[in-house]
Chain A
Amino acid sequence: MTPSFGVFAVFALLLAIPAVYYLIVGKNLIRILISIELLFKAVTLLIAGAGYFSGRVALVQSLIVTLILIEVLVTAIGAGIIIAYYRHSESLDATRLNELKG
Chain B
Amino acid sequence: MTIALLILLPLLGLWTILASSLLNAAIGLAATSATLTLVLFTIESPLAGVFELSVCAGLITVVFVSAISLTSRYTDHEMAERDSSRRKRFFLLPVLMAAVGAAFWFLGAEQPVLPELAASAAGEVREVIWTIRRLDLVGQILIVLSGVFGIVVLFKSRKECRCGCEAKEQLP
Contact = CB atoms under 8 A, between A and B. Distances in A.
Interface of A: 1-11, 13-15, 17-19, 21-22, 25-26, 28, 30-31, 33-35, 37-38, 41-42, 44-45, 48-49, 51-62, 64-66, 68-73, 75-77, 79-84, 86, 90, 92
Contact of A53 (B6, B48, B55, B114): B114
A11 B60 contact: no
B128 A59 contact: yes
Contact of A55 (B48, B89, B110, B118): B118
Given A3-B109, A25-B90, A75-B64, 8 more contacts: A14-B10, A52-B43, A52-B118, A61-B45, A69-B143, A77-B147, A80-B155, A82-B67
Contacts of B116: 53-55
A37 B29 contact: yes
Contacts of A83: 67, 70, 154-155
Interface SS of B by simple majority: helix
B147 A18 contact: no
A51 B119 CA distance: 12
Contact of B64 (A4, A30, A81): A30
Interface residues of B, number: 78
B154 A81 contact: yes
B128 A79 contact: no
B79 interface: no
Contacts of A65: 47-48, 51, 129
List 6 A-B pairs, minimum CB-CB distance, nearest first: A58-B124, A80-B154, A14-B10, A73-B147, A57-B118, A64-B48
Given A61-B45, A79-B67, A10 B55 contact: no
Given A45-B39, A61-B48, A34 B29 contact: yes
Interface string B125-148: 101110011001000100110010
